[in-house]
Amino acid sequence: MMTVLAGIAAKVMLTLALVQEKGLSPGVSPDKGSGPGPKAVSSIDWKEGMTLPVRVPVVGPGRELMTTLSFPEESIETAVTGWPEGEITAIQKRGLLFLRLAKKSEGQLNVIGGSGAHYLLYLKGVETLDPNGYDPYLKIRKKDDGAKADVLPKRQNPRPGGAVELLQAMRLGLHPEGVKILRAKRELAFEAPYLEVRLLYVYDTQSYRGLIFEVKNPTDLRQAVDASHFRGRGTSLILSAMKENVVEPKSVTRLYALTWKD
């Protein structure tokens, strides 16, 4: 039983795009006032031939900052720029590129990935200490990756009904007939400085697998979470819902998700 649950937990590792609740800015606590705070990871879709804008910090007294670019590559082959020597710092490590500028300027940077893909970046130097004034961490994704991940598997037989009814039963804590409910060991499905998601229960049916997660907000800020922003890894997420869409500081709520059964 535990082996089965461990396998399920491994398949439902989640990715998440999180938006701050409207009216609250990152780094602003309703109790502790304002100030610079960590910025959530930003991502941008890319396809061959497009130019990606990147705001890069300019080094200066008290401004030892860098921009980190994460490419959909195992490694970076080379980075080519027309900047004079010493005006740009570019350090590559596997699929990551770390950047900063010596002075406020703008220009292109051409990056060749290990796969041979060409990434054209337009860098703009900014003089700021505000994490929202530049791009601390930018994840570049191939534009078709998300679409492929969301495509439901082809099924030879007609898809069965009852998905909405099962999700409703999960939210109400009911035990539908013919459904096996398994208690998980709070396996970690997603973790970030602003959110933690752990698996609580698995609803096992002939056609679907229902998953109940605990969603914890460990920060001092209210977090607005959209259930539709969660994506399963290695499985097709077909329905999802939050018990509450806004998670209060230091509080928990629940996420309900439904996937096709393998």
Distance in angstroms (rounded) separating the CA atoms of residues 233 and 104: 40
Distance in angstroms (rounded) separating the CA atoms of residues 249 and 258: 27
Mean pLDDT, rounded, of the chain: 77
Distance in angstroms (rounded) separating the CA atoms of residues 116 and 14: 29
Q: What is the pTM of this model?
A: 0.45
Distance in angstroms (rounded) separating the CA atoms of residues 111 and 116: 10
Q: Which helix (H) or strand (E) holds 8?
A: helix 2-11
Model confidence band, residue 6 (pLDDT cutoffs 50, 70, 90): very low
Domains of the chain, each with CATH number or no CATH: 2-15+160-260 (no CATH), 48-142 (2.60.40.1550)
Distance of CA 256 to CAs 137, 195, 197, 253, Å? Answer: 30, 16, 11, 10
Model confidence band, residue 198 (pLDDT cutoffs 50, 70, 90): very high
pLDDT, tens digit, for every residue of 79-103? 877 777 788 888 888 899 999 899 8
Q: Can you say whether the dihedral through the CA atoms of 213, 218, 224, 229 is positive or negative? A: negative
pLDDT, tens digit, for every residue of 154-176? 555 555 567 888 888 898 889 98
pLDDT, tens digit, for every residue of 46-81? 888 788 899 999 988 877 888 899 999 988 888 877
Distance in angstroms (rounded) separating the CA atoms of residues 57 and 129: 8
Task: Tell me the one-letter amino acid at 245.
Answer: N
